[in-house]
Amino acid sequence: MDMRFSPEEEQFRLDVRDFLTRHLPQDIRLKVEHGQRLHKQDYVRWQDILRTKGWYAVNWPEAFGGPGWSPAQKYLFAQEYGALPCPPLVQFGVNMVGPVIYTYGNDEQKQRFLPRILANQDWWCQGYSEPGAGSDLASLKTSAVRDGDYYVVNGSKIWTTWAQWADWMFALVRTSHEARPQQGISFLLLDMKSPGITVRPIRLLDGDAEVNEVFFDNVRVPVSQRVGDEGVGWSYGKFLLEHERFVISGVARSRRLLGQLETLARERTDGTDGTGNSLWASQAIRLRFADLQTQLRVLELTELRFLSAMNAGQSPGVAASILKIRGTEIEQAISELALECMALDVAAFDEAFLDGQHGTSVTADGAAAAGPAYFNLRKVSIWGGSNEIQRNVLAKQVLGL
């Protein structure tokens, strides 16, 4: 297993770092650094910058308009991207449904949807979870009944991120009850402007409403918007989730956040012992940082091990769940440590500051966003398949238990 990068790959890393540093808009950079909420126009503007460079659909093959990068180039791009305060890429179109369409879609679907995804013109959302079907997606109940050249869709989805901004949804729906639950699921593409679709926001613990309930009342969806064969949607959905889990570890981003927090701890006094010492004077605090740094290094080496296998033509498959589990747990642990370091300064949410309104006072060390970040990140060990379920998958399919 060779984990070294070639001179050409190291030069690619430097080129990526230079471009991202020079082209990331200052107002968006400050929002990310301060933990303020990003709005649709922020994401679209930044993704247009990447698109102009040809670095938006970085995971796409060259045949469909991607850069045709090697696994090593994709990895290095992700590392440099996370090391800077760049907005997270909106994954639903470019990294989730896009690969499903160019892998399993027909020619008409490829010609219709892929150019608009590549051009950053359509905003997608994911219709998987339901009130009674989260990590156990096989129990989903949203139905799609065939009526000539249409499916009539009834039911609901929940925790649908940014559905309020979406033009399209890719959804798993039940088209049959006659076989095993997994065999009665199909993969549909729904126009969010269709009559009968209602979007209702859900306000989260951090005060934001980034997720929604989506209701379908006799929504007519053309059969031409079904990807692949009827009843095979479960397989397409698993393919999509493997793509999602491989890019979800966030090592570089977590390392950047931990570095910012270390700077704060070195400068900030705890105010409890009257000595004026910084938080860094506490051995307990230093040990917490050392433990997280070690965990991040181990996760990074695991990523590199998978990367080495991919360079040899081997897919990580379900083993990518390791990255999802550990990456989200470390992310939560960093947010918890930030909460402890900033103590009572995080007690009150400043909604005006979080929404990016000017003239709002905020502590220089970012305490205004630490509380909302902590509460918001409780979700990451659940989305993409809960970590408990992922451990079961690993036990059965990787360890053979």
What number is the average pLDDT over the span 195-221?
A: 94
Lookup: tokens for 178: 């006659």
Residue spans per domain, the chain:
7-91, 124-231, 248-399
**Domain 124-231 shares a fold with domain 248-399:** no
- Please give the pLDDT value at position 273: 53
3.90.700.10, 3.60.20.30, 3.40.50.300, 2.40.110.10: which CATH number matches 124-231?
2.40.110.10
Question: Environment class of residue 184 by beta-carbon count within 10 Å: exposed (0-12), middle (13-18) or buried (19+)?
Answer: buried
Q: What is the CATH number of domain 248-399?
A: 1.20.140.10
pLDDT band at 271 (very low <50, low <70, confident <90, very high): low
Per the CB < 8 A criterion, the answer to whether 155 and 113 are in contact is no
Q: Are strands 226-227 and 143-147 parallel, antiparallel or unpaired?
A: unpaired
Measured between alpha carbons, how far is 335 from 331 in angstroms, rounded to an integer?
6
Catalytic, 9? Answer: no
Measured between alpha carbons, how far is 353 from 25 in angstroms, rounded to an integer?
19
Residues 6+ apart with CB under 8 A from 172: 127, 128, 137, 140, 142, 185, 186, 187, 188, 233, 234, 237
What number is the average pLDDT over the span 232-242?
A: 83
- Please give the pLDDT value at position 371: 84
Q: Which of 244, 262, 303, 331 is catalytic?
A: 244
pLDDT band at 39 (very low <50, low <70, confident <90, very high): very high
Measured between alpha carbons, how far is 142 from 179 in angstroms, rounded to an integer?
16
pLDDT at position 360 over 50: no
What number is the average pLDDT over the span 137-161?
A: 94
pLDDT band at 359 (very low <50, low <70, confident <90, very high): very low
pLDDT at position 310 over 50: yes
Q: Which has more confidence, 398 or 395?
A: 395
What number is the average pLDDT over the span 93-117?
A: 95
